[in-house]
Amino acid sequence: MSRRWLMGLLGLLVGCGGGPSPTGSQTTLIFGRGNDSVTLDPADAEDGESAKIINNVFDTLVTYADDSSRIVPSLATSWQESDDRRSWTFTLREGVTFHDGTPFGPDAVKFTFERILDPDHPGNHGLKAPYRQDYAIIEEIASAASNEVTFKLKRPSGVFLANLATFSASIVSPSAVTEHAERFSVHPVGTGPFRFEEWIPEVKLTLAANEKYWGGAPGVERVIFKPIPEPTARLRQLRTGEIDMADGLTIPVRAEVRQDDSLKLLRVPGMNTAYFAMNNQRPPFNDVRVRRALGHAIDKEALVKSVYEGEAVIATSLIPPPMFAFNEHWKGIDYDPKRSRQLLEEAGVAKGTSFRLWVMPNSRPYMPAPDRVAAMIQEQLRQVGLEPEIHSPPWSQFLEQTGNGEHETALFGWITDNGDPDNFLFALLDKTNAEPPLARNVAFYLSEPVHELLLNAQQESDPDKRAQLYDQAQRLIDEDCPVVPLVHVDLAMALRANVKGYVINPVGIVRLKGVTVESGSK
């Protein structure tokens, strides 16, 4: 294989919306969101609300282009994969400092990944590290120069570079982790365009501009993230100017935004999936007949028409349509309540069998109205003789308890971390990700054949061959029915008309560095 060079130009990043707030602009941006963050430690986070903050406080070695999942430079200016595909060498950006004034370099990169991988690392402090499996392929991290770092891998990987662009790969300040220990989760220190200032849980989280940012100062001096659980309340505060932008909007709220001249709505096809997960290790869902019965009972078309009001597409796989390896010939499990009842009878499931359906408490991009989705699925399951009970704990408890496998069934969803199908099938259905306390495979699906196919797909570099491996895996998953993919939804962001410079990214990353807010427009 010929040596592959992946080079990037500094100009791709530097100057993109940089510079201090221009004359006539507000100095503070207020972002309304559905939930508060859970943690600000990149190594411990797994939820989108935590990622929002992390993506603005920290940098990764590589990142995504503003409007796509294309990999571009960040803390690394260039990178090289070895001929045997078992090592990656990165040239690091020089002159970068963390918010605490300490220098960024190869030691910080090594520290960041070793604290994730090694529970006994002095910087670990009891991390749950939900993304540890993404980096378990790393055998060694070495440096031959002050501006260079090399990752030596246990095997070739077609997804390693993409994984380095995810928020979990954010480079942390070793001195700050040492100083704050387990409280680094509320005292985050990175190299990003904003630095952490204050967090009053369930009230607000404030970031201040990093005026010394290597890519130029942000467009506003301060960003306040304000949790507002009710989407209609977020709309109301957008209209009054109490907040400047908001996400997690229900379909009716999106429609109202479009009709309001003082607001604007940005949309992009989203790399996300909402799905119904069954705990494959808990009876009766350890019986494939029962899982398939529930799959046949769910009318996705009705869900799209009624709850999503046509602004979603039916999912036939966890892999979303904008992503390579998606196969339009996948059909998924069809709506067939008669067959559902037959399978339940064959499996010996009595009519009126009750179980809990765990539901996230607030809107997410892939499920703007989780309560309505839950109510419709509850009624559809009742039509085949089952009695699901809706259980909706607070967001942090929902994540913790489903990650521990305490649920029977759950409504869940996923937004891509890296723009690669591995981040759906491997992240959500591989057996290595079904380990409490923070399992990402909340179906607790433990298929060895699927595991082998997904590992082979990770190591393959040819996109067509990778797609074939994912197709084989999907066919096995369809047979086992560990989850029922429901819908894929466009990502949307609502902004006041005076908010400029925001670019919505299909990966779901929220970047606020280039945003400005014109004054006198509220």
Q: What pLDDT score was predicted for residue 483?
A: 99
The answer on 123 and 36 residing in a single domain is yes
The answer on 206 and 147 residing in a single domain is yes
Higher-pLDDT residue of 6 and 377 is 377
| pLDDT higher than 60, residue 410 | yes
pLDDT band at 24 (very low <50, low <70, confident <90, very high): low
Q: Which domain holds residue 447?
A: 272-489
Percent pLDDT > 70 in the chain is 95
Q: Is residue 262 part of a domain?
A: no
Q: Is residue 78 part of a domain?
A: yes
Looking at every residue in the chain, the average pLDDT score rounds to 93
Q: Is residue 283 part of a domain?
A: yes
Q: What pLDDT score was predicted for residue 496?
A: 98
Q: Which tens digits make up the pLDDT trace of 176-207?
A: 999 999 999 999 999 999 999 999 999 999 99
| pLDDT higher than 90, residue 478 | yes
Q: Is residue 238 part of a domain?
A: no
The answer on 298 and 198 residing in a single domain is no
CA 199 – CA 206 distance, rounded (Å):
6
- Say which DSSP state 126 is in: T
The answer on 420 and 352 residing in a single domain is yes
| Cis, peptide link before residue 463, omega less than 30° from 0 | no
Q: What pLDDT score was predicted for residue 151?
A: 99
Letter for the amino acid at 43? A
Q: Which tens digits make up the pLDDT trace of 89-132?
A: 999 999 999 999 999 999 999 999 999 999 999 999 999 899 99
| pLDDT higher than 60, residue 356 | yes
Q: Is residue 343 part of a domain?
A: yes
CA 402 from chain center: how many Å?
Answer: 16
| pLDDT higher than 90, residue 17 | no
pLDDT band at 152 (very low <50, low <70, confident <90, very high): very high
Q: Say how many domains are in the chain.
A: 2
Q: Which tens digits make up the pLDDT trace of 41-60?
A: 999 999 999 999 999 999 99
Three-state helix/strand/coil letters over 29-49:
EEEEECCCCCCCCCCCCCCHH
Q: Where are the alpha helices (DSSP H) in 276-387?
A: 288-297, 300-306, 337-346, 370-382
The answer on 507 and 387 residing in a single domain is no
Q: What pLDDT score was predicted for residue 393?
A: 96
pLDDT band at 14 (very low <50, low <70, confident <90, very high): very low
Q: What pLDDT score was predicted for residue 21?
A: 47
The answer on 447 and 502 residing in a single domain is no
The answer on 223 and 302 residing in a single domain is no
Q: Are 173 and 99 in contact (CB under 8 A)?
A: yes
Q: Which residues contact 318 (CB under 8 A, 6 or more apart)?
A: 273, 275, 414, 424, 425, 428, 429, 483, 485
Q: Is residue 254 part of a domain?
A: no
Letter for the amino acid at 239? R
Dihedral sign of CA atoms 388, 390, 435, 404 in order: negative
Q: What pLDDT score was predicted for residue 362?
A: 86
The answer on 285 and 208 residing in a single domain is no
Taking CA atoms, 430 is separated from 74, 271, 364, 453, in Å, by: 30, 19, 24, 10
CATH number, domain of 462, equals 3.10.105.10
Q: What pLDDT score was predicted for residue 10?
A: 30
CA 129 – CA 133 distance, rounded (Å):
9
The answer on 510 and 444 residing in a single domain is no
Q: Which tens digits make up the pLDDT trace of 436-457?
A: 988 999 999 999 999 999 999 9
The answer on 38 and 112 residing in a single domain is yes
pLDDT band at 520 (very low <50, low <70, confident <90, very high): low
Residue listed under structure tokens 């380095």: 164
Q: Is residue 235 part of a domain?
A: no
Q: Is residue 202 part of a domain?
A: yes
Task: Give the residue among 237, 241, 207, 248 at the shortest CA–CA distance from 224.
Answer: 207
CATH number, domain of 171, equals 3.40.190.10
Q: Which tens digits make up the pLDDT trace of 298-340?
A: 999 999 999 999 889 999 999 999 898 999 999 999 999 999 9
Q: What pLDDT score was predicted for residue 8?
A: 37
| pLDDT higher than 80, residue 293 | yes
Tell me the backbone φ, ψ of residue 342, rounded to 5 degrees.
Answer: -60, -45
Percent pLDDT > 90 in the chain is 87
pLDDT band at 12 (very low <50, low <70, confident <90, very high): very low
Q: Which tens digits make up the pLDDT trace of 366-377?
A: 998 999 999 999
| pLDDT higher than 60, residue 16 | no
| pLDDT higher than 90, residue 363 | no
CA 182 – CA 187 distance, rounded (Å):
9
The answer on 509 and 375 residing in a single domain is no
The answer on 294 and 164 residing in a single domain is no
Q: Are 166 and 60 in contact (CB under 8 A)?
A: yes
